[in-house]
Amino acid sequence: MKPKHYDVLIVGGGISGTALFYELAKYTNARSLCLLEKYESLSPLNSKGTSNSQTIHIGDIETNYTLEKAKVTKRTAKMVERFCLQYGLEDKIMFSHQKMALGVGEKEVRFIENRYHEFKELFPYLELWDVEKLKALEPKVVYADKAQTKVRSEPIIAMGTATQYTTVDFGAMSEALADEAQKASDATTDIFYQSQVDKIEELKDKTFRVVTTKGDEYTANFVVVDAGAHSLFLAHQMGYGTHMGCLPMAGSFYMTDAHFLNGKVYMVQNNKLPFAALHGDPDILAEGKTRFGPTALMLPKLERFKPGTYLDFLKTLNFDTKIIKIFWDLLKDSDIRNYVFKNFLFEVPLINKKLFVQDARKIVPSLSVDEITYAQGFGGVRPQVLDKEKEKLMLGEASINPGNGLIFNMTPSPGATSCLGNAERDLHVIVDFLDLTFDEAQFTKDLIEE
């Protein structure tokens, strides 16, 4: 039987894949779209609510962002907000919490003050909160004791807001994107579950054949792979992105048993690390609880809480002397070395909680071991990309576009926030490549215009 043919086939039903599926269905004249998802539902892995803090990373309290980067992330973050508002998803899957970046100690306090003044123009709603204000807004970050009688000894200050949408259940948003895509267009918009892609082949007529592990076959004029760490796995299989390796970093969380923080509290980021600094978040999936984390542990597999993928990891790591050199350079730095070692210990039973609490006390000085529990089943994998040409760890997202009708995306944080922005980038490539039309006016009206 001849395989079913599509204009565009997307591999991966996470937030990135469904965002592209939605934009293509709603704003282009593509006649047929296909989304292949490995598991039985959308967003079963990294976009899922339990895998990360579900934060909209707009760039206001993300202290490692430059102003330039914040301008970009603000635009893409606002697209997420506008999508949710457009479909009345506020307070259903999108929530507003108080949030802040907390500076602890003189150096960080000065940094937060200066950063606040620099970023205030881009984010006019930001406020600077001193100790007195924090006593009212987030008392647990201020006091050294549980009775809240003694203020912590280090100077602190925070920049934050209580007026913005801060949190999205990206798993639920993936479903909304897929639903709306199917409603928005008369075109074929097929979603196939339990369809793990085994291989992608370029055919003589410049189209692509996608084969699943079950033996199902599809063909497409354009293929986009939004499959987390597996994007690089599939790229390597086709001979693309061989200058890259993938280092899967797993993040775990700890949960308080009761209400603890009133809002999101982020710490000042160490610029040497590609991962978000430890933070505390009110959990949108576990009502009334606060989640602390994530930790960062190198995991020799591409998917967390799923069997297998050890071999895929080895293939995707693309191990050679250059990878050794990158590791060596990273571990030469005492900050990174200590961070790696400490995060390894955060996963060791018996000592993990005690050690984690020591770190989390930078946010809540009075936090004690008996107040937190290891959040079983929470956490995901952030595929960090190693650039073998530049011999260094790349920070953030990576995209491989050979220009022949294929795109492979790896979108660790802030990939979920950037989903509609990244999809817009890919949409332009696809529209040009397939000579489609794009309803830019409607797109702008729906997702961009204030």
Task: State the minimum distance, in angstroms, from the CB of residue 217 to other proteins.
Answer: 42
Return the number of the residue (118 or 145) whose C-beta is nearest other proteins: 118
Cβ closest to other proteins, residue 114 vs residue 404: 114
Alpha helical stretches, state H, 37-130: 67-86, 106-119
Least CB distance to other proteins at residue 59 (A):
11
CB of 324 to other proteins, least distance (A): 19
**317 strand-pairing partners:** none
| Minimum CB distance to other proteins smaller for 63 or for 174 | 63
DSSP letter assigned to residue 435: T
Q: How many residues bind other proteins (CB under 8 A)?
A: 22
- DSSP-based three-state secondary structure for 275: coil
CB of 423 vs other proteins, minimal distance in Å: 23
Question: Which residues contact residue 35 at a Cβ distance below 8 angstroms, ignoring those fewer than 6 apart?
Answer: 9, 10, 13, 17, 18, 21, 178, 189, 190, 191, 192
Answer yes or no whether residue 417 interacts with other proteins by CB under 8 A.
Answer: no
For other proteins, give the closer residue by CB, 117 or 259: 117
Question: Which range, of 104-112, 181-189, 303-311, 442-450, touches other proteins by CB under 8 A?
Answer: 104-112
Neighbour count for residue 307 (Cβ, 10 Å): 7
Residues 102/107/109/115 CA torsion (nearest 10 deg) = -90
Of 338 and 404, CB closest to other proteins: 338
Residue from 66, 163, 213, 358 touching other proteins (CB under 8 A): that is: 66
Stretch that binds other proteins, among 43-51, 65-73, 207-215, 376-384 (CB under 8 A): 65-73
Say whether residue 63 binds other proteins (CB under 8 A).
yes
Q: Is the peptide bond before 294 cis (omega within 30 degrees of 0)?
A: yes
Alpha-helical (H) ranges within 366-418 are none
Pick the closer one to other proteins by CB: 118 or 257: 118
In the block, residue with structure tokens 């293939």? 315
Q: Among 269, 399, 418, 422, which residue sits at the site for other proteins (rule: CB under 8 A)?
A: 269
Rounded Cα distance, 33 and 200, in Å: 17
- On whether the CB atoms of residues 253 and 291 are closer than 8 A, the answer is yes
- How far apart are alpha carbons 25 and 229 in whole angstroms? 26
Question: With CB under 8 A as the contact rule, which of the stretches 63-71, 186-194, 284-292, 424-432 interacts with other proteins?
Answer: 63-71
How far is CA 260 from each of CA 164, 264, 364, 412, 413, rounded to the nearest angstrom? 20, 11, 9, 28, 25
Residue where the block lists tokens 């923080």: 261
Contact between 67 and other proteins per CB under 8 A:
yes
The yes or no reply on residue 64 touching other proteins (CB under 8 A) is yes
Q: Which is nearer to other proteins, 298 or 395 (CB)?
A: 395
Stretches 31-39, 157-165, 266-274, 398-406: which one binds other proteins (CB under 8 A)? 266-274
Residue 110 engages other proteins in binding (rule: CB under 8 A): yes
Reported in sequence order, the residue ranges of 268-420 that DSSP labels E, i.e. its strands, are 279-282, 290-293, 297-298, 372-374, 380-387, 392-393, 398-400, 406-410
Q: Near other proteins by CB under 8 A, which window of 87-95, 109-117, 176-184, 368-376?
A: 109-117
Contact indicator for 294, 369 with CB cutoff of 8 Å: no
Q: Between residue 331 and residue 350, which ones bind other proteins under the rule CB under 8 A? A: 333
Stretch near other proteins under the rule CB under 8 A, chosen from 29-37, 66-74, 133-141, 409-417: 66-74
68 lies in the site for other proteins, by CB under 8 A: yes
Residue 225 binds other proteins, judged by CB under 8 A: no
Written as one string, the DSSP assignment of 49-64 is: TTTS--B---SSS-TT
Instruction: Select the residue interacting with other proteins from 4, 69, 135, 425 (CB under 8 A).
Output: 69
Question: How far apart are alpha carbons 367 and 372 in whole angstroms?
Answer: 8
268 binds other proteins (CB under 8 A): yes
Answer for which of 395, 429, 434, 448 binds other proteins (CB under 8 A) is 395
Residue numbers at the binding site for other proteins (CB under 8 A)? 63-69, 106-107, 110-111, 113-115, 268-272, 274, 333, 395
